[in-house]
Amino acid sequence: MPPSPSKPGSTRWIAPVLLALSPMWIIGTLGRHLWTPDEPRVADIAWRMAAQRHWVLPHLAARPFLEKPPLTYWAAALSLRAFGDHAAALRVPNLLYALILALAMGALGWALDGFPAAVVAALVAGSAITAYRVSMWLAPDAPLLAACAVALLGAYLGYRAPSGRGKLGGYLLMHVGAAAGFMAKSAVGWLVPGLTLLTLIAWERRWKELARAQLYAGFALQAIIIGPWLLAVAHTARGAHALRVLFWYNLVGRFMTVTAPPAYRYTEAHHNTFGKYFLQLPVYLLPWTALAVAAALFAWRGVRRSGPQGTAWRFAVSATLPWLILLSLAATARDVYAAPALLGASLLIALWAGECHRLGVAPHGALRWTRWTVALAGSVFAALAIAVALVQRAAPLTAALDLVWAGAAATCMVVALRRAARAQREAEALMSVTWNYAAYAAAFCLSALAVFPLIDRWQDLSALARRIHAATLHEPFALLNPDETTVAMLDRGLRTRFTRLDVPAPAAAAAVQHWFRTQGSGARILVLLPGHATGPFTPLLHAVGAARAPGDGMAGRLQRAAVARIVHRYHLPQGRRYALLGPPAEPPEPR
C-alpha cells in the first residue's frame, strides 16, 4: 500500500535528490547567455516590464505582447531588479521552478509508492531531455511545468484522501497549481490536472467524487489569484482586444484554425500531424526511454490491480495519455508542448522502479539499454567538447582546458556506468537507475563547461545589436519583416528607434522603395538573412557535406532589382546574419 505523505521518513529523499540535480540546474540556468529561440524575446519583455509603471500587460519593444499571461515576465523582472540585467539574473526564477518541480514530483512519487518512487520520479522529471530544457529555458513553459507538477500532486492527494480536511487540502493544492499554470500559460494550466483527474474518475467510476464540495472550493482561490489580473486587462485601453488575443487567437487558435489577423494566425507555423507526439516521445524522454518502455509494458498489469496500487498506476497513465491525445488533435505542434505529459511518464517509471525494488529484481533489458543510451549520450557530449577544443586554435590554453573537461566527462561517465552495471548484477534497481543518472549528469555538466562558452559566442546578440545601433543611431532606420528576436535584441538595453515594415513578400520592393524615397539617402533598412554565418565548424560541415551557401534571400533580390544595395553585413560565427540596406547607388550623370 502506498505510504501516507505524513509518514515518518517521507522527506528523507529530498536532500539526495536536490544534491544530485543541483549541478544540472546551475549549469543550465547560470552557466550560459541568452539563446534563441524565445530567450532574447522574454529577456526584452522582462527588461521592459522592470521599467514599466503598470505590470498588467507585458511589452515587446513598445508594443503590448499578448501571447501569454505575465507570470514569467513578472518573476524575471523582479529578479532583474534584484540582481541586475544579465542572463543569469533573468533565470534565477528558473531555479525556483526546477526546485518546485523536483519537490512536487518527489512528493507525488512518495505518495504513490514510497522512497524509491520519490527518488526516481524527481530525477527523471528533472533530467529527461525535454523536461530539463523546458525547466532551464527562459520561457513561460518553465513555470507551467512546475505548476502542473504541483497541481498533479494536489489532485492525487485530494482524490485519495478520505472526505474531510485532507481531501480539501489536496484539492486546494491542485487549484493553486492550476492557477499558477494559468498565469504562466493560460488554460493549459487547467487542462493538464483537469484531464488527469477526470480520466481517473471515469476509469474508476467514482462519479461521486464530482459531487464533493472540496473539489470545487478552490475555485474561489483561483478567482482571487486570476480575477484581479483579468479585470485589469479588461480595463486597459484595448482590453477586449487583449482578451481576444490571449484566449481566442492564442489559445483556441493553436488547436484549430480561427479567423484572425495575420499576426495571430498560429496554425500557419509549427504544423502538426496526428501521432507526431507519440512518435517523438522516445526522444523527449532521453536518456530514460528504455525505462519508459519497460514501465509502459508493466502498466498493462498495474492498471488492472485493485486498491491503492492500481489507482497509482491508473493515475500515472491518466497524467500521460490524455494530454498527448489532446495535443495530437491540435493544429500546431512543438516539443515543449508535450513537457507536462513527461510528468506522467516519470511517474510510470517511478512506479516500475518501486515495483522492482520491492521484488528485489533489476530487469537486465531495460537497465542495460539505459546504460547504452547514457553511454551514447555522454560520448556525444564528450565528443562535442573535444571538437570545441580542436577549433580553439587561437587560444591554446582554452583548448587544453576544454580537453580536460572532455576527459573528465568521459572518465566520470565510465566510472558511474560501471557502478550502475554492478548495482544491476546485485539486483539493486534503484541504485542502478541512480548511477545511470550520475553518469548522464556528469557527462553533460563537464562537457557543458567546454561547449557552452562557444555557443555563447554564437548567440551574442547583444554585441551584434550594439554594432547595428551605433551604425543607425543618427539615420532613419527600419526593419523589414523582423522576427521577434531581432526586435528584442535591438530594444533591450538600447531602445533602438526603428520603424517596422511588415509587408507580404511580393510587396516588399514597393515598401522599400517608398521608405527610401520618403526618408532620404541616409535611410537604412535591416534584413535578416537566411541560414547561418560561417564559423569554426564550417570546414567540418563542408567535409561531411552539411554546409550550404545560404545566399542573401530578400536582401539579395532587392539588390538585384536595383531597389536597394547592401551597405554592410553583420553576423555571428555559426549564428545569425543580417544585411543593412541603403538606397540604390544613383547612376552617373551623362556627360
The 3 state secondary structure assigned to 556-575 is HHHHHCCCCEEEEEEECCCC
Q: Please, are residues 457 and 398 in contact by the beta-carbon 8 Å criterion?
A: no
Paired with 571 in beta bridges are 577
Q: Does residue 530 surpass a pLDDT of 70? A: yes
Please choose, from the candidates 527, 534, 514, 512, the residue with its C-alpha nearest in 3D space to the C-alpha of residue 580: 527
Q: Where are the alpha helices (DSSP H) in 61-187?
A: 71-83, 87-90, 92-113, 115-127, 129-136, 141-160, 165-185
Please choose, from the candidates 489, 358, 491, the residue with its C-alpha nearest in 3D space to the C-alpha of residue 428: 358
| 229-268 per-position pLDDT tens digit | 999 999 998 899 889 888 888 777 777 777 777 777 766 6
Grid cell in block for residue 157? 492527494
pLDDT the model gives residue 249 = 80
Indicate the helix (H) or strand (E) that contains 409. helix 396-425
Q: Does residue 576 surpass a pLDDT of 60? A: yes
Q: What is the mean pLDDT of residues 461-489?
A: 95
pLDDT the model gives residue 503 = 92
Q: Does residue 162 surpass a pLDDT of 90? A: yes
Q: Does residue 1 surpass a pLDDT of 70? A: no
Burial status of residue 544 (CB atoms within 10 A of its CB: 0-12, 13-18, 19 or more): exposed
pLDDT the model gives residue 4 = 63
pLDDT the model gives residue 398 = 87
Percent of the chain at pLDDT > 70 equals 95
Delimit the domains of the chain by residue range: 14-359, 364-458, 461-582
Grid cell in block for residue 299? 502498466
| 39-92 per-position pLDDT tens digit | 999 999 999 999 988 899 999 998 999 889 999 999 999 999 999 999 999 999
Q: Does residue 207 surpass a pLDDT of 60? A: yes
pLDDT the model gives residue 8 = 56
pLDDT the model gives residue 169 = 96
Report the Cα–Cα distance between both ends of the chain, in Å, rounded. Answer: 99
pLDDT the model gives residue 588 = 45
Q: What is the mean pLDDT of residues 216-227?
A: 95
Backbone region of residue 576 per phi and psi (left: phi > 0; alpha: psi in -120 to 50; beta: other values): beta
pLDDT the model gives residue 232 = 95
pLDDT the model gives residue 109 = 97
